[in-house]
Amino acid sequence: MRKILILVAGLLVFTDAAAQRRPKSSREKADTACMQSLAGRVQGGAHLHFLNTAHDFGDIPRRGGDLVKEFVFVNDGTEPLVILHAITSCTCTKASYSKRPVAPGECGVIKIIYEPHKKEPGAFSKVIQIFSTSVDGRNLLTIRGNSIDVKKL
């Protein structure tokens, strides 16, 4: 019986060493890099971290329909994160998001919809305030562009 235990223990050590020498796949490398970048960024509490906080739509037709931008975020804190509410700077801008808690290390999306037909043509810049249970409390998102009236021929 003792020989079997030694043999099993030796096999486990060999298997573990072989796994460490095996090159990691690109997916494993990406997962490892993501986890390392998130590990310990915030010591206690939820933390809302956006991958990008601004978007430029460029020149857009005023009557071309609604514009949509999804802002991706990650909770890089240690507690679940809840988006409490979003305040837009204009009735032509709307924000939608999940009311469910985002666990530490997980991602979420806030969808911003801009309705250019509700405003006069020209340059626009809109600010969206995101209030959450993050240790920061409030984050800002911005969208901008240039609305152009396309004349019918």
> What are the per-10-residue average pLDDT scores of the chain (153 residues)?
42 42 49 48 82 95 92 94 95 95 95 93 96 94 93 48
Q: Are residues 123 and 142 in the same domain?
A: yes
pLDDT attached to residue 17: 45
The 8 Å CB, 24+ separation contacts for 67-71 are: 67/113, 67/114, 67/115, 67/116, 67/143, 67/145, 68/111, 68/112, 68/113, 68/114, 69/111, 69/112, 69/114, 69/143, 70/109, 70/110, 70/111, 70/112, 71/109, 71/110, 71/111, 71/112, 71/141
Structural domain count of the chain: 2
pLDDT attached to residue 152: 44
pLDDT attached to residue 41: 59
Q: Are residues 93 and 71 in the same domain?
A: yes
Domain assignment of residue 104, given as a range: 48-148
Model-wide pTM > 0.75: no
